[in-house]
């Protein structure tokens, strides 16, 4: 198997692992899962899954492939000076994966998906429920998930009294 073929197969494995990756609880401007799926789908030569194609930020904007095409098509696109063109070409990310680098990507992602480090470095109740304020972290999680909202008086009491 050639090196290029091994990299493509590795990228396909990374895409399969990324599809198992959990959804992000907080919606940011950029999603780790969506951007990595877009990146490795392009390397693997497979289309982006339809569900995540809508989540990729900037879907209606110019893609990185279109920018690469514009920069590489002519010697001076859009009337740019040659030094500016060189700066743009240097700024465009180039995915140059080797077989060993792709194996490292697969290993790292599978460790994340399987919660290897969370299980390996398990923290006990002493950290999750400190003696001084055992409900502290649970209150934060409930507030983030919208289960239990504190009103202004309860919030002030928490700030001043510590509980």
Residue 90's alpha-carbon distances to 36, 64, 71, 86, in angstroms, are 21, 13, 11, 6
pLDDT single digits (tens) 50-93: 665 555 454 556 666 676 676 666 665 556 667 776 776 666 66
Dihedral angle computed from the Cα positions of residues 49, 24, 113 and 139, in that order, rounded to the nearest 10 degrees: -160
Instruction: Kindly state the average pLDDT of the residues 99-106.
Output: 91
Name the nearest CA neighbour of 104 among 39, 31, 13, 38.
13
Contact 33, 52 (CB under 8 A): yes
- Residue 76: strand, helix, or coil: coil
Is 156 in the same domain as 91? no
Is 23 in the same domain as 96? yes
Residue 25: what pLDDT? Answer: 73
Is 62 in the same domain as 111? yes
Is 108 in the same domain as 132? no
Is 90 in the same domain as 132? no
Is 33 in the same domain as 7? yes
pLDDT single digits (tens) 7-59: 889 989 999 998 888 888 777 777 888 888 888 888 888 887 666 555 545 45
Is 51 in the same domain as 130? no
Q: How many domains does the chain fold into?
A: 2
Instruction: Kindly state the average pLDDT of the residues 97-124.
Output: 89
pLDDT single digits (tens) 130-140: 888 788 888 88
Cα 63 to the center of its chain, rounded Å: 17
Residue 70: what pLDDT? Answer: 67
Is 67 in the same domain as 104? yes
Cα gap 87→89, rounded to integer Å: 5
Of residues 66 and 97, more confidence is placed in: 97
Is 51 in the same domain as 129? no
State the residue range of the domain holding 113: 3-120
Q: For the chain, what is the mean pLDDT?
A: 78
Residue 107: what pLDDT? Answer: 94
Is 156 in the same domain as 102? no
pTM surpassing 0.85? no
């Amino acid at each position: 198997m050639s090196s290029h073929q091994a990299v493509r197969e590795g990228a396909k494995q990374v895409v399969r692992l990324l599809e198992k990756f959990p959804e992000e609880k907080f919606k940011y401007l950029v999603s780790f899962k969506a951007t990595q799926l877009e990146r490795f789908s392009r390397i693997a030569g497979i289309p982006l899954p339809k569900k995540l194609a809508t989540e990729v930020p900037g879907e209606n904007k110019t893609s990185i492939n279109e920018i690469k095409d514009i920069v590489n098509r002519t010697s001076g696109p859009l009337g740019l000076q040659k030094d500016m063109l060189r700066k743009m070409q240097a700024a465009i990310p180039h995915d140059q994966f080797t077989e060993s680098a792709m194996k490292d990507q697969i290993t790292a992602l599978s460790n994340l998906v399987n919660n290897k480090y969370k299980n390996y470095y398990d923290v006990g109740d002493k950290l999750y429920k400190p003696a001084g304020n055992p409900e502290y972290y649970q209150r934060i999680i409930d507030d983030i998930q919208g289960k239990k909202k504190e009103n202004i008086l309860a919030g002030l009491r928490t700030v001043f009294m510590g509980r």
